[in-house]
Chain A
Amino acid sequence: MSATGIGAAVRRKEDFRFITGQGQYTDDVVRPGETRAVFVRSPHAHANIKSIDVSAAKAMPGVIDVLTGAQLATDKIGNLICGWMIHSKDGTPMKMAPHPALAASKVNCVGDAVAVVIAETVGQGKDAAEKVKVEYEVLSAVVDPAKAQAKGAPQIHPDIANNTIYQWHLGDAKATEAAFANAKHVTKLDIVNNRLVPNAMEPRAALAEYDAGTDNLTLWNTSQNPHVARLVIAAFVGMAPEHKLRVIAPDVGGGFGSKIFIYPEEVVCLWAARKLRRPVKWTSDRSEAFLTDAHGRDHITHAELALDGNGKILALRAKTIANLGAYMSTFSSSVPTYLYATLLSGQYDIPQIYCEVDAVYTNTAPVDAYRGAGRPEATFVVERLVEVAARQLNLEPAELRRRNFVKSFPHQTPVIMAYDAGDYNASMKKAMEMADVKGFAKRKREAARHGKLRGLGFSAYIEACGIAPSQAVGSLGAGVGLWESAEVRVNPTGSVEVLTGCHAHGQGHETTFAQLVSERLGIPFDSVSIVHGDTDKVQFGMGTYGSRSGAVGMSAIVKALDKIEAKAKKVAAFMLEAAEGDIEFKDGKFTVAGTDKSAAFGEVALNAYIAHKFTGAELEPGLKETSFYDPTNFTFPAGCHICEIEIDIETGKSEIVNWTAVDDFGTVINPMIVEGQVHGGIAQGVGQALMEGAVYSAEGQLVSGSFMDYTMPRAHDLPSFHVGLTETKAPSNPLGIKGCGEAGAIASPAAVINAITDAIGTEELAMPATANAVWAALQRATPRQAA
């Protein structure tokens, strides 16, 4: 391993510019003649729009125009779409309601945009927005997914009965029922997976510019996948032909899924920029972000686990209601289906699984993928069931897990996924040693002497990453393939640019991708640049989410590097006057077997471009190669997290006193960056378990609409994590990478809740387990402990 190659903890290249304030985010881009868009948003969760009067607003100082949904329709700007088709169990397609970028006749959630003011400054725009008169006929709202399908519930979209988008299922209902009938023990749980607000540090932004001379549109935006944004805005919204639209996602300050999607504001800025012949910029403020960024999670689930007399799991079944909000966001349909139910086997050999999912509309912000996307929800179901079953059967939780782990590979689960490699016991064993599980009983007694309850919670999670084999996802309804592309450009001086279809918004690709190239070509790490996020520069790509950039994106780079090496060997053969088959390449040097003849990589690169030594026509000048890589399977990162928690009996306040994470991510390119991803993921999962919760009032107002009421995890809420790795290589990609971006957020909520419920002795505890919630659970469970 070299100092900057694969496996080295290289410091992040990009951090200097981020830490010194020199990042270039969308809001930092300034175009000549730029105007600002201010959206007029619905204060009501559900209302008919009776009229919109923009005349007073148009007369305000600095106002260029005020545009409405009616004009959007006149200009034939299409609706936003959900790009993953799900069919109900009766075979009918999902019911996708129209989602116009500006609501014309009806609003369906607070924050729904009904008009946009284009003004010289944000202040002028806000002044004018207050003068837009919208007359609403307020309707009853439904925000609770459990009530959305009820008879008499407010109907959100015409012709979509009972607000039901689809009623989907996976698995063998009859075989599962039979397994339950034969069970010696059944564990049952009712679970709410709480709704979360993503809260990336950089709020969403869009800047659109129209060039009348070329008829080209350019959009700078906060996107995790600029090419897909261009595709959807061109092909479905119909804004412009794909080749007349350029999407640039420059530095992006965090996404966590919420920036995968195509949002109304981007469409409106593009439309307005062309209509008004001025660049149009919109930057969300934090209040708008709370209301309009796609939220995460929001499941209600009843789950059951069937076991025989020896603690062997026979079957699992779950019935879930998933809240998708007022409209179907870009990939919303896939999250509670193929990203959720397919992981309900966990790390276990479960013969039968059956899952039903009803997705519903409510008068709330749209819900879509958020760090982990479906897999945290699945892990929470499985790991809570297993933990509770162990407690009910008086088995050590680790022992019940051990008895049921998948031990041989490949392993076909009853819910589509075929696990290809792993060693689940190895992760758990190492985690138990690092967490000193043996010493827990003593620590628990010690805590009790200080009036504290102590609990230990496991979460042996699995996730499907490396998203994804195109044929597989195509067969499941995806509207796109999920391969990735790379172009490797070797310059005449031997430095290298890698153009990738992945997008970095915190992951450190400029560092890790350069490590791969440095190792493979034997050139200095600093001689490698990573280019991403611009549809005019980069060949088509699918973006970054689902822990795919390592497993899929870097695999594409490997394939392109293979081609570079092959071509460079041909060039070297001419240079060194040797047969191509005798050329060897190692540590940045081309040599001729059995001789002392050699050429450095840089010399070969120069020769590729000057082409003076090429004889004949069989070799083209230049050294640039492209690859489109499609994985053969998902990857299956897995591991075991153990949370040790202490609870103040009097106040119910939890303190995480120890956290151990042992993960199997396959090959690790940069252990420091991987550890950072694990830390961040755990923090988000702990946030979900203990603090975060988006709360709507019955009228559909977002009560937790600011950081004064929505609790984000802070550094002092978290302990210093103990992080370890085990390794089984992923067989489905050339580097053996499994992916690490979501693991922490997937594993941690179940570990926290398992630890608290272990401490307080009752399973009746919903997330977020605030001090008040834990105290109330303690009152119900052991009234005598009420202080």
Chain B
Amino acid sequence: MYNFTFHRPTTVRQAAGLLARNPDAKLLAGGHSLIPVMKQRLASPAALVDLGLVEGIVGVELKGRSVSIGAMTRHADVANSPVLKEVMPALASVPGSIGDPQVRNRGTIGGSIANNDPNADYPAACLGLGATIITNKRRIAADDFFTGMFSTALEEGEIIVRVSFPVAKKAGYEKFKHPASGFALVGVFVSKRGPDIRVAVTGAGANGVFRVPSFEEALKKRFSPKSIEGLTIPASGMNADIHASAEYRAHLVGVLARRALVKATA
């Protein structure tokens, strides 16, 4: 690891100020992706701005018909949130499937979303529920937020503060774990909220998380696994690596979507 200066602001405003003054700075929000690459000397930010002491950006709250999750809420705290387990257990199951206990007790929702790892679980939940990402500057719809592998709509100096998830009556997440890393080799989040039907896929796409319009269309008639029986998506545009072929990932999208629908309609 190279040397860096370490800042611990206590407010979002201070954090934003530090980012403005240190163009090479990175936000530290759990660090379970950032620290390993720093240790391997593959990343060398001149400064880290740790959000760990920032007030008011932790916790899970039910606000009307949405669940609002503070950006620095750890995966374990979201997974175990009584209110979330009550109103939308499908969303609680997403962080519950991340990594191992160490990761779940350090990693945060804001860190995960800002990093937008193509195999991460949270992007599927955000896109699959039509979440709103709230930053210190604006509100960004999930459909506009995830712009490609490790890339988001966040601008310089912009900090995620909260993520707001509309409560969907029917929702389900099904994940096929990457055998080595435990990330999603493929993960599919499905939801139905009134007429809004969403099928979001992580892990499979060469460009990160994506929605599956053909499945969503088919589910409009009836929100049931039967409605997408036999439907597939093309292998083109899927990731291929030593762990899985593009064909296999495309196949898993169909399988996991049906299984997520089974959960969502149980």
Contacts and interface: CB of A to CB of B under 8 A. Distances in A.
Partners in one complex: yes
Interface of A: 123, 126, 130, 287, 650-651, 653, 691, 693, 695, 703-704, 707-712, 770-772, 775-776, 786-787
A709 B248 contact: no
B221 interface: no
B248 A776 contact: yes
B234 to A, nearest CB: 15
Interface in B220-265: 242-245, 248, 251-252, 254-255
Given A709-B180, A709-B242, A287 B251 contact: no
B245 A707 contact: no
A775 B185 CA distance: 15
A651 B255 contact: yes
A730 to B, nearest CB: 39
A712 B179 CA distance: 9
Contacts of B243: 709, 770, 772
Contact of B180 (A126, A711, A771, A787): A711
B175 to A, nearest CB: 11
B248 A775 contact: yes
A775 B242 CA distance: 15
B255 A787 contact: yes
Nearest to A768: B179
A82 B105 CA distance: 48
Nearest to A786: B251
A704 B244 CA distance: 13
B40 interface: yes
B214 interface: no
Contacts of A770: 179, 243-244
A776 B243 CA distance: 13
A688 to B, nearest CB: 14
26 contacts: A123-B1, A126-B41, A287-B40, A651-B176, A651-B252, A651-B255, A691-B179, A693-B242, A695-B242, A703-B242, A707-B180, A707-B181, A708-B180, A708-B181, A709-B180, A709-B243, A712-B180, A770-B243, A772-B243, A772-B244, A772-B245, A772-B248, A775-B248, A775-B251, A787-B251, A787-B255
Contacts of A651: 176, 252, 255
A652 to B, nearest CB: 8
B235 to A, nearest CB: 13
Contacts of B181: 707-709
A693 to B, nearest CB: 8
Contacts of B254: 787
B179 A776 contact: no
A703 B241 CA distance: 10
Contacts of A123: 1
A710 B180 contact: yes
A126 B2 CA distance: 10
A126 B41 CA distance: 10
Interface in B169-183: 176, 179-181
Interface of B: 1, 40-41, 176, 179-181, 242-245, 248, 251-252, 254-255
Determine which residue in A130, A651, A712 has the highest number of CB atoms from chain B within 10 A of its CB, and name it. A651
Contacts of B248: 772, 775-776
Determine which residue in B1, B179, B245, B248 has the highest number of CB atoms from chain A within 10 A of its CB, and name it. B179
Contacts of A287: 40
A776 B242 CA distance: 14
Nearest to B254: A787
Contacts of A650: 255
A537 B44 CA distance: 47
Given A707-B181, A709-B242, A772-B244, 13 more contacts: A126-B41, A130-B41, A653-B176, A695-B242, A703-B242, A709-B243, A710-B180, A770-B179, A770-B244, A771-B176, A772-B245, A775-B248, A786-B251
A315 to B, nearest CB: 38
A776 B176 contact: no
Contacts of B180: 691, 707-712
A707 B255 CA distance: 27
A787 B179 CA distance: 21
Contacts of A130: 41
Contacts of A691: 179-180
Nearest to A690: B179
Contacts of A693: 242
A64 B111 CA distance: 41
A708 B183 CA distance: 9
A415 to B, nearest CB: 36
A775 B255 CA distance: 12
Q: 9 shortest A-B CB distances, which residue pairs?
A: A711-B180, A711-B179, A772-B248, A708-B181, A650-B255, A772-B244, A695-B242, A709-B180, A703-B242
Nearest to A127: B2
Nearest to A653: B176
Contacts of B251: 775, 786-787
A707 B254 CA distance: 28
Contact of A776 (B40, B245, B252): B245
B100 to A, nearest CB: 9
B242 A704 contact: yes
A651 B254 CA distance: 10
Nearest to B251: A775
B40 to A, nearest CB: 7
Contacts of A695: 242
A782 to B, nearest CB: 15
Contacts of B242: 693, 695, 703-704, 709
Contacts of B176: 651, 653, 771
A393 B72 CA distance: 63
A613 to B, nearest CB: 65
A691 B178 CA distance: 11
A55 to B, nearest CB: 22
Nearest to A710: B180
B128 to A, nearest CB: 20
A309 B45 CA distance: 72
Contacts of A712: 180
Contacts of B1: 123
A517 to B, nearest CB: 42
A172 B77 CA distance: 68
Contacts of A708: 180-181
Nearest to A130: B41
A282 B111 CA distance: 35
B119 to A, nearest CB: 10
Determine which residue in A712, A770, A786 has the highest number of CB atoms from chain B within 10 A of its CB, and name it. A770
A126 B3 CA distance: 12
Nearest to A652: B248
A693 B241 CA distance: 13
